[in-house]
Amino acid sequence: MSETLFISMMAIAVMVCVGVVFGFVLAVADKKFAMEENPLIEEVKEALPQGQCGACGYAGCAKYAEAVVNDPDVPPNLCVPGKAEVAAEVAKLTGKVAEAAEAKFAHVRCRGGIGIAKLSYEYKGVHDCAAAKQIQQGPKSCKFGCLGFGNCVRNCPFGAMTMGTNGLPQVDKLLCTGCGKCASVCPNHVIELLPMSAKVSVSCSSKEAGAVAKKSCSAACIGCGLCVRNCTHEGGVQVVEHLARVNPEICRQCEEPTCVSKCPTKAIAAYVKAAKSEQKIG
């Protein structure tokens, strides 16, 4: 055996020995200084719906479970999908008080589906809302409405959204948890979260003046103000930037929303009766 080969083999042997020693030291140190995980964290995590939606403000259910157990300032009612039932269970496990929080659902502020909204050009690119928006703000004449390529549907972790035959996403109110994952990926921000008690909603996002908006979409809000003048509760409806906006806190007092029947384009819809009989909303 040559001297060079012998020296190389010895060097390798020394490196292996050093690696083994360091590995052993690190293993002992890790075992000595490791903190035992509070078993309560696992119990809380099991009580959560495991949607990993992030609506609580943490990166998944495990992180929220860890935070709500270890930090006395983290409330037990941050799990939006779990609603009151999960909040009560987490509160019970952690010894905290769960304040009442009204559940919400996703509402699509657009009715400009196929045959309603006019097209500026035929789009044949990637079936993705963000990609379509890169080309002249999308194929529809209205640059504020739903692009209709289903990013929101694909991002819903609870199967509460489907694409309707009209080319617009539909929300299953019974499955929707109000986590907001759908809204977070909408490039035109047409999805809003409404409280379950909402009685009236505006299904339009256009900020164009009436004549321009109507030319692009026959279902657009034209900002005429008839809804405001016929609202029985002051401040319930306002027109801001040519678009009607509803205050759900004020509007919940209304039993017969007269603004709905006065809207010439039906851009305002009522949930008073629909919520009792219909499961699909948009």
Distance in angstroms (rounded) separating the CA atoms of residues 233 and 199: 13
pLDDT (tens digit per residue) in 258-272: 889 899 999 998 874
**For residue 4, pLDDT beyond 80:** no
Distance in angstroms (rounded) separating the CA atoms of residues 126 and 239: 36
- What's the confidence (pLDDT) of residue 38? 87
**For residue 25, pLDDT beyond 90:** no
More confident residue, 37 or 90: 90
Residue 197: alpha-carbon gap to chain centroid = 18
Q: Dump the DSSP string for 167-182.
A: SSEEEETTT-----HH
Least-confidence region, from 114-123, 184-193, 242-251? 242-251
- What's the confidence (pLDDT) of residue 81? 85
Q: Are the beta carbons of 244 and 238 closer than 8 angstroms?
A: yes
pLDDT tier at 125, thresholds 50, 70, 90: very high
pTM of the model: 0.74
φ, ψ dihedrals at 252, nearest 5°:
-65, -15
Greatest alpha-carbon span in the chain: 101
pLDDT tier at 28, thresholds 50, 70, 90: low
pLDDT tier at 273, thresholds 50, 70, 90: very low
- What's the confidence (pLDDT) of residue 126? 94
pLDDT tier at 274, thresholds 50, 70, 90: very low
**Rounded mean pLDDT of 208-220?**
95
Measured CA distances, 65 to 70, 87, 102, 115, 261 (Å): 9, 12, 21, 47, 47
Q: Dump the DSSP string for 29-92.
A: HHHHHPPPPPHHHHHHHHHS------TTSSSSHHHHHHHHHH-TTS-TT--TTTHHHHHHHHHH
- What's the confidence (pLDDT) of residue 140? 97
- What's the confidence (pLDDT) of residue 203? 95
Instruction: Give the residue among 160, 168, 60 at the shortest CA–CA distance from 109.
Output: 168
Cβ within 8 Å of residue 193, ≥6 positions away: 104, 105, 106, 107, 178, 180, 183
Q: How many CB atoms lie within 10 A of CB 13?
A: 10
